[in-house]
Chain A
């Protein structure tokens, strides 16, 4: 822990940057309850946590390998391949139902599909941003396996709830799409409900995902729509899905 220093600097009780980074990046792998407790009460460290969460990698740095110039023969084949690919796309592209980018956030190549069953028994595939009513039952289909998946929800009151699995370890996925076992019933809290899907290469605990969502929610001042990814162990991909809960 830090030494006492001048005003505005970390005090003796404040964790180091390394401890905060472990808290952010190793949630569920290396838990530090004393650091978590400190971050909940120290305004200064909360600001440090926010900086740790929000600092982005500089763009362009990942172009670390300079492409070599193509030979004339290779240029010909690359050009030909691009033309063939473009022609194929033109033939294959189908018009799709428009979806607001502000409502749906795709993270990598995983996809969350939500199937709703209204209290009257009507079953349908839901679109992100669509209106639903309390007590509607939901099931989740995950596209993008294999791996391990969990779905959590952040309601309009800022409460984070594990949906599926409700507790324990994330659900294993098979290759392609998987319909998660079980269903959830929406509660009475009205407003926008944001669901986050995480698909990770390694098994993880749903509690770690909930914890990470709470940390992230604090960092974005409760704006759940700003959350597109969470910090979980292993390589993870995310997708988000919003529903507007209103009384019929």
Chain B
């Protein structure tokens, strides 16, 4: 094949995976405008650094999952979408485990644990799938999930009491 320009390759990637990124951002942000922004940011990042475009499709897909999740988390940390997330009932597994929505639990959670919380509780991925998306070993995932559970255990009662008193949310 003739060499494609970076822009052509990016255009093809957008045509193919843009819907996936948008759908994922919609799931996490529950907001179409925010999902559009995320889509824009994720593909604009590829325009600045096209390294992931040169990887095999499975690695590119994992990168898009990771980048979209990170961008949504940044967005949530900026509290622009926090209200939307608090209202969302999209984390039944998390609700079942803690009785609290993710929006509350992300507050105070170490940033490096937050993607694992999303993948494990919101997406309900297996450890192997999380390892693929995060590009780490399954052993690392196992360790991070243990840290996550420890965080939830340590903070669960305090946060729940705060919700009851109306101090959060």
Contact = CB atoms under 8 A, between A and B. Distances in A.
A25 B129 contact: no
Interface in B80-137: 92-93, 96, 119, 123-126, 129, 133
A52 interface: yes
Contact of A5 (B20, B44, B93, B125): B93
Nearest to B123: A16
A209 B105 CA distance: 44
Contacts of B15: 57
A205 to B, nearest CB: 14
A10 B20 CA distance: 19
Nearest to A63: B40
A29 interface: yes
Contacts of A62: 11, 14, 18, 43
B1 interface: yes
Interface in B25-84: 27, 35-36, 39-40, 43-44, 47, 56-58, 61, 65
Given A16-B125, A18-B133, A25-B17, A55 B22 contact: yes
A56 B23 CA distance: 8
A51 B23 CA distance: 9
B12 interface: yes
Contact of B123 (A9, A18, A147, A233): A18
B65 A64 contact: no
29 contacts: A5-B92, A5-B96, A6-B92, A16-B125, A18-B119, A18-B133, A21-B20, A21-B65, A25-B17, A25-B57, A25-B61, A26-B58, A26-B61, A29-B56, A29-B57, A30-B58, A54-B19, A55-B20, A55-B22, A55-B23, A56-B19, A56-B22, A57-B17, A57-B21, A58-B36, A61-B39, A61-B40, A201-B1, A235-B12
B56 A55 contact: no
Interface in B120-169: 123-126, 129, 133
Interface centre among A6, A55, A201 (most CB of B within 10 A): A55
A233 B124 CA distance: 26
B57 A233 contact: yes
Dominant secondary structure at the B interface: helix
Nearest to A10: B124
A55 B16 CA distance: 11
Contacts of B47: 64-65
Given A18-B65, A26-B61, A29-B57, A57 B124 contact: no
Contacts of B57: 25-26, 29, 233-234
Interface in A1-19: 1-3, 5-6, 9-10, 16-19
Given A5-B93, A61-B40, A25 B16 contact: yes
Contacts of A18: 65, 119, 123, 125, 129, 133
A9 B22 contact: no
A64 B11 CA distance: 11
Contacts of B133: 18
A207 interface: no
A147 B27 CA distance: 36
Contacts of A6: 92
B22 A58 contact: yes
A127 interface: no
Contacts of A17: 24, 27, 123
Contact of A22 (B39, B61, B119, B124): B61
B37 to A, nearest CB: 9
A222 interface: no
A234 B36 CA distance: 25
Given A21-B65, A52-B20, A64-B40, 14 more contacts: A3-B93, A5-B96, A16-B125, A21-B61, A51-B23, A54-B19, A57-B14, A57-B15, A58-B18, A58-B22, A61-B43, A62-B11, A62-B18, A146-B2
